[in-house]
Amino acid sequence: MIVGLTGGIGSGKTTVARMFANLGVPVYIADKEAADLMETSSEIRTEIIKLLGEQAYNGTLPNRAFIADNVFVNSDKLARLNAIIHPRVQQHFLDWVRGQKAPYVIKEAAILFESGSYKNCDKIITVTAPLEVRIHRVVSRDGVTQQAVESRINHQWDESKKVALSDYVIENILIENTEKEVEDIHRKLLLLSETY
């Protein structure tokens, strides 16, 4: 059984993913795998340079700041970048799933809905938090401006839209409450996986 895990920037989906991993659930972090593929795939590198120019890479390493500055102010470039990366990440994920033996696996992806990969999930968990909390977390974590965070938020689906399409919603404000919710959902998914 494939469970999608998503949430807007700063919602704490990576923290929630770690909680599931601590319960023994195999977790695939799509953003991390996408970053690895951007470094290791010469095909992806060539296409991104064609899209954004030579400055998009320093040798074989993606220039993440340059890429983010270019795509988060241009929705067309963002869509074209996603079209380069996401089909490859999806294939990589499917290959990874075939090697797992657990009752269910989690695919953690920031743009699970936006990329369309939610359609390949049996169940979906969305992690939420109040907007001001999310902005504060990202500004503190990444050392970026509030404006930069808001720009990224504006390129993601509205939280209410994600919640409406989700099977489970975790409000991630107090860590102890979040842990309880994760354990509760884990028990439900284990029971549910017996029917898959």
Residue ranges for the binding site for ATP? 10-15
User: What DSSP designation does 194 have?
Assistant: T
Q: Which residue has the tokens 């975790």?
A: 170
> Which residues are part of a known binding site?
10-15
User: What DSSP designation does 102 have?
Assistant: S
Question: Helix, strand, or coil here: 29?
Answer: strand
**12: region left, alpha or beta (phi > 0 left; psi from -120 to 50 alpha):** left
Instruction: Identify the CA nearest to 115 among candidates 82, 139, 93, 89.
Output: 82
Inter-axis angle of helices 64-71 and 75-98, nearest 10:
120
What's the rounded Cα separation, in Å, for the pair 150 and 7? Answer: 15
Side chain identity at 58, as an amino acid letter?
A: N
Instruction: Identify the CA nearest to 172 among candidates 38, 18, 55, 10.
Output: 10
